Structure 1
Amino acid sequence: MASSIVAVAGGTGNLGRTIVKALVDSGRFQVFVLGRKADPEKEKILRARILPTDYTDPSSLVTLLEENKIDTVLSVVMNDDGPETEINLSDAAEKSRVTRRFVPAIWGCKCQPEVAKWSPFIGDRIKVLEALESTSLEWTAVHNGYFADYFVGPRIPTEFDRNLFPGIDTQNNVAAIPGSGDVHAVFTHTADVAKFAVALLGSEDKWEKESNIVGQRITLNELVKKLEHVKGEKFSVSYDPVEKLEQGKITELPCHKEAYGYFPKEALQGMFSSFGLMFERGVFEVDMERTLNKKFPEVHARSVDELIAEGWGAGK
């Protein structure tokens, strides 16, 4: 049975706003947003009611889900919240008499135990998936690789307000590629991910545990060449070896300095070095055989080529 009443946990965030907009625009669902507090102004923007939510109180979560007859919870809560928020939410969804579907906040790479050894974020996500495994809920983890918004925004509309990408400064034509740059990764734009979310929630079919979305599979070296070709600009390219990345260090790019006001240098270096290792070790690969692209051929995910042409083509 397709979803009808959907609650988006974290729906006021970047990806959350994108998904809420797509769900509301589709006209196929009654959409609620789970937020820390009521916010009438944000409700006007989102065109969805915000339900004040206490993620630390499991019993109140059950009441919230049942009183609003929420059959599906779609989570895009912030990664720095840790796993407890989603574990409490999934537990409440299991206990709710009306909730039957759950989408955890993966929205990226497959959560592999070997990656969790050096990536706390992946370890937290695995704990959420383990909690879901112990429920009777129908659930699926969405894998879409890395968000393409970071190298074509803001020229292509996006809710992301930081034009930061590990190893590539598109605006300033500079790259410090993590590792070899020859490992493939999948890139998908958030607006296209949101379109597939609409199709997934509207599907009558039982969900598989993994839902894969592919914009385009490409290496970082190929990505830089495509940017150079479309922009008509030669990039200054260097490489950060794995040994440097393992030390939590990366080459500073011009766009990084602009971010230090809200993202301290040490924290940014640590995060991007971790992402760099993930790129070099193939973590952002996606199973190309079993995809939502094939299941929903009417939904188009723009390729990297299309996005770069649209964002950085002639006259842009």
Structure 2
Amino acid sequence: MVKVAVAAPGEVAREVIDGLVASGKHEIILLARRVCDGQEIKGTTRLVANFQDKADLAQKLQGVHTVLSFVNAVSDPGDAQIALIDASVKAGVKRFAPSEWFLARNDHLPWLASKDIVRKHLEDINKENKVLEYTLFQVGMFMDYLAGPRQKTKHIGRNNFLIDHRGKRALVPGSGDHRLTYTAIEDVVNIVVKAIDYQGEWPKNGGINGVTATLGQGIEVSEKISGTKFSIEALNIDDLRAGELKSSFVPELDHPAIRDLDEATKAGFIKAAYTSLLMALVDGDAVVGDEWNRIFPHYKFLGFDEFISKSLS
């Protein structure tokens, strides 16, 4: 048993927390910015932490073995995670997982620039001597998004990612044969729980790779689950590279960082986000590694066929 700290427990974090609690192996503390009355999670201890105060964080991290960060990279410029990393070193934390949980590279995603700042900080503090073991848990796209309204995750909100489930239509760059990684949230949770118990050294690049397939194949999964053929709108890649989304529609996007924005600002962000995501797909940034797959070779990941059957059950 070790002490695990989960920082900024949001929707994805709640899925992981449920998995850690269900394992019954570890002491789990939640580092949150505020008290959430009536939202206490059985099997955990919630501590209100100041993510700008390294001394406060270090005090709360005393005795912690592993920190899992879910700090919102869209709204935080990196300050909170850098403070969390430095406090972890001061407190003697052994392992740290920064707030990744998405693509392998963020070159086309300026709103996630803080992820690269955090990655560099982790590299820098370990340059001379390893002071903090870490892994970048990268999962690609949650396969669960392909199920649309049938999605059965407990905490993660429904998201479209280029697919308008309500309108039965989808956007693709060019021919739609660009590849990306889809990983079911249950597999992400199971691998993270196993990683906490892993006795070897965490890999720096921590890809969790469920299925790597084309966007077109992902759309076919959504079609099978919905029982409806989708209308596919192919977009010109040169337009996308110029930052222009010339589509007849823009799928809805739900993310905690933009829920409180006014409608005009939110619409602008969503359009820019999809333009950037399409280019990330074109340039191969959405395919993640399989480092954790190789560490746990006997673990069976959910494939498309199993995911479809489970979604329809």
Greater mean alpha carbon deviation, residues 99-108 or residues 221-230? 221-230
CA distance in 2: counterparts of 1:254 and 1:87, whole angstroms: 35
Amino acid at match of 1:52: V
> Could you tell me the percent identity over the aligned residues?
28
Q: 1:250 to 1:19 in 2, by over 3 A?
A: farther
The residue aligned with 2:4 is 6
- How many equivalent pairs are there? 299
1:131 matched to 2:125? The reply is no
User: 1:163 is matched with which residue?
Assistant: 159
CA contact (8 A) 1:174 1:253 kept: no
Alignment of 1:223-242 (within 5 A): 223-242=218-237
Separation (CA, whole Å) in 1 of partners of 2:259 and 2:188: 30
Which range moved further: 227-236 or 78-87?
227-236
What is the Cα deviation at residue 87 of structure 1? Answer: 0.7
Q: Structure 2 counterpart of 1:10, which letter?
A: A
Q: Which amino acid aligns with 1:63?
A: Q
Give, in whole Å, the separation in 1 of the partners of 2:146 and 2:248.
17
Structure 1 alignment gaps of length 5 or more: none
Q: Is the alpha carbon distance of 1:226 and 1:148 closer, same or farther for their aligned partners in structure 2, counting shifts above 3 Å?
A: closer
Amino acid at match of 2:103: C
SS of aligned partner of 1:41 = coil
Alignment partner, residue 186 of structure 2: 191
How far is the alpha carbon of 1:40 from its aligned partner? 4.2
Q: Where do residues 1-316 of structure 1 align in structure 2 (5 Å cutoff)?
A: 4-11=2-9, 13-43=10-40, 45=41, 47-66=43-62, 69-79=63-73, 80-97=75-92, 99-111=93-105, 115-116=106-107, 118-133=108-123, 134-135=125-126, 136-158=131-153, 159-165=155-161, 167-245=162-240, 246-249=242-245, 251=247, 253=249, 255-256=251-252, 264-288=266-290, 291-311=291-311, 313=312
Structure 1 pair 250–7 and aligned structure 2 pair: CA distance change class (3 A): farther
**Normalised TM-score (structure 1):** 0.86
**Contact preservation (8 Å) 2:98, 2:135:** yes
What amino acid sits opposite 1:21 in the alignment?
A: D
- Pair 1:153–1:224, CA change in 2 (3 A): closer
Asked if the contact 1:107–1:144 (Cα under 8 Å) also holds between the matched residues in 2, the reply is: yes
Q: Distance in 1 between matches of 2:70 and 2:223?
A: 33
TM-score (norm 2): 0.87
Q: Displacement of 1:230 after TM fit? A: 4.8
Between 1:196-205 and 1:208-217, the stretch displaced more is 208-217
Note closer, same or farther for the CA distance 1:267–1:206 as it changes in structure 2 (3 Å cut): same
One-letter identity of the residue aligned with 1:74:
L
